[in-house]
Chains A and B, each alone.
Chain A
Amino acid sequence: MGLKVGLEEKLPSGFLLTTVEKLAGYMRKNSLWPATFGLACCAIEMMAAGAGRYDLARFGMEVFRASPRQADLMIVAGRVSNKMAPVLRQIYDQMAAPKWVLSMGACASSGGMFNNYAIVQGVDHIVPVDIYLPGCPPRPEMLMDAILKLHEQISDEKLGANREKVVKEVEKAALAAKPTHQLKGLLA
């Protein structure tokens, strides 16, 4: 999920890199373009967040792109059925490299009240999720709150040598973690 343009490899780690990191983070977080990916009722609230009253344009997000190639944030808004799962993964794979996933609502985050054979029990079984948003459906303020929390994450993101270090640590932790399908209790 890192920026790979060949520029950051040539940069010396240290002061310059952190400055570039801050600048890139600032720019990325203020120009997130979400992919249009409404699956159910959450999408209605997502549309409301894009409209005049809540106005996502204030955060540089007014353009919901119909093509995943132009988007860098996937807002999974709604329940993901098993039939939709490969499509969702394909859309995620088609998105260009620095990309984030926001799991909006109870159904996308964990299956919600649909604990049955048709619904994927949490979209994190298919794609890595950066921020979970509870609610059924979450009101537009909740979506904006999640987006702002994601913005904070993005602005703190590392580049180049620092990025590799973080990625290695994350991968180590992910390999050591219990697979999602083995989790028991309320985490399942």
Chain B
Amino acid sequence: MTKNFEDHDSNNLIPRNDEFGLSKAEQDSKFIADQAPAPLLKQLLGFWVTFKSMFKKVNTVQYPEVKEPTAPRFHGRHQLNRHPDGLEKCIGCELCAWACPADAIYVEGADNKPNENYSPGERYGKVYQINYLRCIFCGLCIEACPTRALTMTNEYELADDQRGKLIFEKEDLLAPLRNGMVKPPHPMYPNTTDENYYRGEVTSAHPSQGTVNND
């Protein structure tokens, strides 16, 4: 049942259904589409989509120059927060490290010395490391943190050329000292316990705690 070129129906551009289940040898002998060029109007019609897109707004974000803000709750680099008087919120409980599915967090706690507190209460995080090459930014550590010490920022430009540089130490993660904060270690706010801190009753530093940061 071979057909030659003259027999082929030139209006039928789409292959007929019965042409599909043929063997390779039979397909070669069959005409699937007309070889003659389409009429000019049809050719121009093909460019209609291209033509329309000339008037569309450009979609590209000019990234390094223009940085689109991330979603407000984007999971970026972590941050270790501070109380309003400058004491660290981290109490070195290691719950973040236990929650981490990738084992990216390493915490070592230590006891606060009297009147040389790093955090209100008994303990503080002495060593705090996050390995950003392991971290999958899932936020389970943030959920686990009992004092809201660990949160995530929207910062995402983290690439570096050495593995070691991507293990962030406590100094890299700690929130900067804001105005009115005192650099730890220093005593707790007079006549307070750690509970007052957690209830948000300490709102600023007391003069007896040390010299206030005024950047």
Choose the segment among B25-33, B35-43, B133-141, B173-181 that binds chain A (4+ C-beta atoms closer than 8 Å): B133-141
| CA gap between A148 and B161 in the complex, in Å | 12
Partner of A132, one of B64, B67, B129, B160: B160
| CA gap between A139 and B74 in the complex, in Å | 11
B134 touches A52 (CB 8 A): no
Interface residue B60 (Cβ < 8 Å from any Cβ of A): yes
Interface of B is mostly: loop
Give min CB distance, A169 to chain B, whole Å: 15
Closest 10 CB pairs of A and B: A146-B159, A136-B136, A113-B102, A110-B133, A134-B132, A109-B133, A186-B131, A133-B159, A145-B157, A55-B60
Residues from chain B with Cβ under 8 Å of A8 in the complex: none
| CA gap between A103 and B102 in the complex, in Å | 18
Residues from chain A with Cβ under 8 Å of B166 in the complex: 109, 132, 134
Residues from chain A with Cβ under 8 Å of B63 in the complex: 54, 141, 144
12 contacts between A and B (CB under 8 A): A52-B59, A106-B134, A115-B103, A130-B161, A133-B158, A134-B158, A136-B138, A138-B156, A141-B63, A141-B68, A145-B64, A149-B160
- B97-128 vs A: 1/0 string, CB under 8 Å? 00001111010000000000000000000000
- A103-124 vs B: 1/0 string, CB under 8 Å? 0001001111101000000101
User: What number of B residues sit within 8 Å (CB to CB) of A?
Assistant: 34
A124 touches B163 (CB 8 A): yes
Residues from chain B with Cβ under 8 Å of A124 in the complex: 163
Partner of B159, one of A53, A132, A136: A132
- B171-190 vs A: 1/0 string, CB under 8 Å? 00000000000000000000
| CA gap between A139 and B102 in the complex, in Å | 19
User: Who on chain B is nearest to A130 by CB?
Assistant: B161
- B39-67 vs A: 1/0 string, CB under 8 Å? 00000000000000000000111111001
A113 touches B129 (CB 8 A): no
A187 touches B101 (CB 8 A): no
Residues from chain A with Cβ under 8 Å of B137 in the complex: 135-136
Give min CB distance, A188 to chain B, whole Å: 10
Partner of B59, one of A53, A112, A113, A131: A53
Give min CB distance, B43 to chain A, whole Å: 26
Residues from chain B with Cβ under 8 Å of A185 in the complex: 106
Q: Given A55-B60, A113-B134, answer yes or no on A149-B156 (Cβ-Cβ < 8 Å).
A: no
Interface residue B167 (Cβ < 8 Å from any Cβ of A): yes
Residues from chain A with Cβ under 8 Å of B11 in the complex: none
| CA gap between A44 and B4 in the complex, in Å | 47
